[in-house]
Amino acid sequence: MRIGFIVNPLAGRGGAAGLGGSDGFTREDFDRMNAKPISQRRAEQALNSIKVQPCFGDIEFLSASGEMGEGALEKAGIGRMELLDAPEETTAEDTIRISKELLAKGIDLLIFVGGDGTARDILSAIGKEAPILGIPSGVKMHSSVFVNTPEEVGQAVQIFFELRNIIEREVMDVDEEEFRSGRVSAKLYGTAIVPDVSDLMQSRKSPTDRSSETDEIEELVGYFVQSIEKDVLYLLGTGSTISSISKQMGINKNELGVNAIMDGEEIGKELDEKKILELLEKYDKRRTVVTPIGGQGFIFGRGNLQLSAKVIASVENEDIMIIATPSKLSRLKILRIDTGDPEIDARLRGYWKVLVGFGKYRVMMVQ
């Protein structure tokens, strides 16, 4: 089996910096902000999961030079590869060109590391000429062509190797300028063909139906605001439900930002990873409030990369609060995490109480 492999070196770097995405920024921009790269590590995790599969001996990798694939393949100890030339500083045009060249070489599957923008570029290049499989490394992650975590790529590849079944899944993206202003309007750009491994892949992100959940949100928000503890730092994560908490307190919060409050007052707005860590070091009593992404169920690792593995390592499990309306939870079988750190993910797995109303909780499995 011939697998094309592409890495977007900049994917996800805007997450920890609180930028809501990576579009429009260069490597130099991220270096100045000390926004660490994450796509190479996630590429290696995915490749290592493929190496342990029975089909690995029958796979030939075709990729691009440097950080677009070669580097991760070498670090994973994979020597069987054919490389196409890629510049040191890559752009979306390079992703499109490399995708077309890989298709021309007769690949059976194109695996890529990136986010919605990368998926959109690849779809524009190859359409439905070959199946694709995304390794999540972006910020927005509205599309449904991605596996849940990099560690599940190997299993997906093995199933595809044995059955060769494919299905169509959506490729979506948003305008990042609008996104950074707190206005989310995801647009469907088309459907791609992907391996039929639905249980291993994230769902399309679905918006909250606020009209049908108004009473539930009001009850949930009312109880939360009433139960805020004195002298405790609250980190309010992303999402419309949490933004409703801020609104109730008279605070104008971007749905896509992480804000900090104490004693009902805002002490930090649209925080990046660095500023969050500074606050956690300053205050001993703290709570981190998160809500699952509608349709996908992720509480960490999608849309809130500011709450990074490094941040989560600085807080105890009992100081993490999960809130959601009953309607949202009814559409989710489980909650998910994908912090990029296996130890942190393992620590968070298990049963959690989710606040769903006025003193009401529901137990959900996090995996």
Q: Is pLDDT above 90 for 321?
A: yes
Span 155-174, pLDDT tens digits: 999 999 999 999 999 999 87
Which residue has 């647009």 as its token pair? Answer: 187
Q: Are residues 134 and 243 in the same domain?
A: no
Q: Are residues 97 and 166 in the same domain?
A: yes
Span 170-221, pLDDT tens digits: 999 876 566 555 555 678 999 999 999 988 999 876 655 555 578 899 999 9
Q: Tell me the average pLDDT across 20-25.
A: 59
Answer with the one of 178, 200, 222 that is the final residue of a domain.
200
Is the residue at 282 inside a domain? yes
Sign, CA dihedral 46-276-16-34, equals negative
Q: Are residues 89 and 233 in the same domain?
A: no
Q: Are residues 236 and 123 in the same domain?
A: no
Q: Are residues 246 and 136 in the same domain?
A: no
User: Domain with 100 in it: what CATH number?
Assistant: 3.40.50.10330
Q: Are residues 45 and 153 in the same domain?
A: yes
Q: How many domains does the chain have?
A: 2
Beta bridge partners of 2: 60
Answer with the one of 200, 233, 261 that is the final residue of a domain.
200
Q: Which residues have C-beta within 8 Å of that of residue 149, sequence separation ≥ 6?
A: 136, 338, 345
Q: Which residue has the higher pLDDT, 68 or 27?
A: 68
Q: Is pLDDT above 90 for 80?
A: no
Tokens at 338, concatenated? 């994908």
- Considering 12-26, 55-69, 217-231, 289-303, the range whose residues carry the highest mean pLDDT is 55-69
Q: Are residues 112 and 214 in the same domain?
A: no
Q: Are residues 110 and 194 in the same domain?
A: yes
Beta bridge partners of 265: 262
Beta bridge partners of 355: 323, 361
Q: Give the confidence band of 147 by pLDDT, cuts at 50, 70, 90.
A: very high
Would you give the DSSP letter of residue 228?
P
Q: Are residues 161 and 59 in the same domain?
A: yes
Q: Are residues 93 and 141 in the same domain?
A: yes
Query: Would you call 282 exposed, middle or buried from its count of C-beta atoms within 10 A (0-12, 13-18, 19+)?
Result: exposed
Is the CB of residue 96 less than 8 Å from the CB of residue 90?
no
Is the residue at 146 inside a domain? yes
CA distance 315 to 255: 22
Q: Are residues 290 and 158 in the same domain?
A: no
Is the residue at 205 inside a domain? no
Answer with the one of 200, 234, 269 that is the final residue of a domain.
200
Report pLDDT for 17: 59
Beta bridge partners of 84: 64
H or E stretch at 310 = helix 309-313
**CA-CA-CA-CA dihedral for 99, 102, 108, 109, to nearest 10:** -30
- 3-class SS of residue 182: coil
Is the residue at 222 inside a domain? yes
Is the residue at 216 inside a domain? yes
Other C-beta atoms closer than 10 Å to the C-beta of 267 total 15
Q: Are residues 69 and 127 in the same domain?
A: yes
CA distance 34 to 22: 14
pTM greater than 0.75 (yes/no): yes
> Residue 184's domain spans which residues?
2-200
